[in-house]
């Protein structure tokens, strides 16, 4: 969790893309001058990390034109080209399964009363490229309790819209539609986990999963399911699209792990979009301090 603003932030207060680089410079200078020592502890932590060049946000243009969203085609440029027509307003999210308050919720009610916060996270794709994305989102831990999951709710399953008329990729059998994903309840409730609704201070572009997508920064990008229309509290581990497609290549956990290679390529290094040289991939994508405890005692080679 990095630059995080208070819950009552207005969209107009969010830093526009062109100011990001300058703000980073300011933070860097502040850290160098020792001004950081004067800041409150939480912000101090943010300054220390924001000063790290590792968190320079990837340009808006790259985040929104180099995408994976197979519902619109399998090439990286397809989503930006074909997702524009997806109708994201109005949008309804169904809540089902082991909870006291199931129902069909208008997106606004699903998120209410929470305003999106800004979080700058690394996104590491299983294809060994990465980005840094300034998301706008609401921590899932603020939203899920409202539906009063029961003691049997051990996992949350997420489902993307199924609508071949709007999503041309769904007219092919390239994946088993609709796209589904899942998290263990404690992963979903971890403070880093977001329902994202925007990036760079703006509404989420369709190609990035409008109007509602999952963001779990310590897992490979394929966990971050887009255009969510349903969540379901389950007792059993949910099935997930890429695991169904190729079980030996894509596990349920999908934790970023430089020590566990993909069967067809290494995961030790990654190419940050826009960089010339590759860099080392960090365990849990650099969030080990916050999340490693969730997996204490688990064999992460088996649970990949
Ligand atoms: N969600 C849906 N519904 N369909 C997809 O094809 N691709 C996943 C994930 N979410 C995908 C999806 C993969 S493989 C990645 S790496 C990320 O979205 C990419 O997110 P981005 O395009 O915003 O970078």
pLDDT digits (tens, 9 = 90+) for 3-36: 333 333 444 445 554 555 555 544 444 444 444 4
Q: Do 156 and 286 belong together in one domain? A: yes
| End-to-end Cα, the chain, rounded Å | 23
Mean pLDDT of the chain: 88
Q: Using one digit for the tens of pLDDT, what is the confidence trace for 119-133?
A: 999 999 999 999 999
Note down the domain range covering 109: 58-295
Three-state DSSP class for residue 141: helix
Ligand 1 center to residue 208 CA distance, Å? 8
Helices (H) and strands (E) in the chain, counts: 9, 12
Ligand 1 center to residue 42 CA distance, Å? 31
Ligand 1 atom with least separation from CA of 79: 22
User: Whose CA is closest to 267, among 66, 129, 131, 122?
Assistant: 129
List residues near ligand 1 (CB under 6 A).
67-71, 123, 125, 160, 179, 208, 221-222, 224-227
Q: Do 145 and 123 belong together in one domain? A: yes
Ligand 1: residue whose CA is nearest its atom 19:
68
Q: Return averaged pLDDT per consecutive 10 residues of the chain, 304 residues in all.
A: 37 50 49 41 40 83 98 98 98 98 98 97 98 98 98 98 98 97 98 98 98 98 99 98 97 98 97 96 98 97 95
In a domain, 2, yes or no: no
Virtual CA dihedral for 132, 138, 144, 146, nearest 10 degrees? Answer: 180
Three-state DSSP class for residue 283: helix
In a domain, 303, yes or no: no
Q: Do 45 and 68 belong together in one domain? A: no
In a domain, 148, yes or no: yes
Q: Do 184 and 208 belong together in one domain? A: yes
User: Whose CA is closest to 136, among 11, 284, 286, 8?
Assistant: 11
Ligand 1 atom with least separation from CA of 227: 3
**How many domains does the chain divide into?**
2
Three-state DSSP class for residue 271: strand
pLDDT at site 202: 97
Residue 108: exposed, middle, or buried by beta-carbon count in 10 A (0-12, 13-18, 19+)?
exposed
Ligand 1 atom with least separation from CA of 70: 6
**Contact by Cβ (8 Å): 146, 101:** yes
User: Hey, what are 108's tokens?
Assistant: 């606004």
In a domain, 87, yes or no: yes
The domain boundary residue, chosen from 7, 38, 56: 56
Ligand 1: residue whose CA is nearest its atom 17:
221
Q: CB under 8 Å to 78, separation ≥6 — which residues?
A: 67, 69, 72, 169
Q: Do 103 and 33 belong together in one domain? A: no
Ligand 1: residue whose CA is nearest its atom 16:
221
Cα gap 265→240, rounded to integer Å: 21
Q: Do 148 and 42 belong together in one domain? A: no
Q: Do 25 and 130 belong together in one domain? A: no
Q: Do 26 and 120 belong together in one domain? A: no
In a domain, 4, yes or no: no
pLDDT at site 30: 44
In a domain, 245, yes or no: yes
Ligand 1 center to residue 222 CA distance, Å? 5
In a domain, 301, yes or no: no
| Residue whose CB lies within 8 A of the most ligand 1 atoms, among 172, 222, 249, 267, for a mutation test | 222
pLDDT at site 193: 98
Q: Do 62 and 52 belong together in one domain? A: no
pLDDT at site 224: 98
Q: Do 131 and 200 belong together in one domain? A: yes
Ligand 1 atom with least separation from CA of 208: 23
Cβ-based neighbour number of residue 61 at 10 Å: 11
Q: For the stretch 153-177, what's the b/e string if a residue is b when 16 or more beta carbons lie within 10 angstroms of its beta carbon?
A: bbbbbbbbbeeeebbebbeeeebeb
Q: Do 282 and 156 belong together in one domain? A: yes
pLDDT at site 54: 86
Cα gap 301→304, rounded to integer Å: 5
Ligand 1 center to residue 211 CA distance, Å? 14
In a domain, 5, yes or no: no
The CATH number covering residue 263 comes to 3.90.420.10
Q: Do 66 and 52 belong together in one domain? A: no
**Contact by Cβ (8 Å): 18, 201:** no
Ligand 1: residue whose CA is nearest its atom 24:
67
């Amino acid at each position: 969790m990095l630059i995080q603003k208070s819950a009552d932030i207005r969209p107009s207060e969010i830093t526009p893309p062109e100011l990001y680089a300058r703000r980073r410079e300011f933070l860097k200078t502040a850290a160098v001058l020792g001004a950081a020592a004067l800041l409150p502890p939480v912000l101090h932590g943010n300054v220390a990390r924001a000063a790290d060049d590792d968190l320079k946000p990837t340009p808006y243009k790259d985040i929104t034109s180099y995408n994976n969203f197979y519902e619109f085609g399998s090439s990286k440029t397809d989503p930006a080209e074909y997702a524009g027509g997806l109708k994201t307003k109005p949008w309804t999210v169904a809540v089902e399964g082991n909870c006291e308050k199931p129902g069909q919720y208008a997106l606004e009610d699903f998120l209410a009363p929470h305003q999106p916060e800004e979080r700058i996270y690394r996104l590491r794709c299983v294809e060994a490229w990465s980005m840094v994305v300034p998301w706008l989102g609401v921590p899932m831990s603020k939203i899920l309790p409202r539906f009063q999951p029961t003691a049997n709710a051990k996992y949350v399953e997420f489902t993307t819209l199924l609508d071949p008329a709007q999503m041309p990729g769904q007219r092919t059998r390239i994946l088993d539609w609709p796209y589904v994903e899942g998290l263990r309840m404690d992963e979903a409730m971890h403070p880093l986990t977001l329902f994202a609704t925007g990036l760079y201070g703006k509404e989420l572009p369709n190609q990035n999963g409008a109007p509602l997508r999952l963001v779990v920064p310590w897992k490979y990008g394929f966990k971050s399911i887009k255009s969510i229309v349903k969540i379901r509290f389950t007792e059993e581990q949910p099935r997930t699209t890429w695991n169904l497609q190729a079980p030996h290549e894509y596990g349920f956990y999908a934790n970023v792990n430089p020590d566990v290679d993909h069967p067809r390529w290494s995961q030790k290094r990654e190419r940050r979009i826009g960089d010339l040289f590759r860099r080392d991939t960090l365990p849990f994508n650099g969030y080990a301090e916050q999340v490693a405890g969730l997996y204490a005692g688990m064999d992460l080679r088996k649970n990949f």
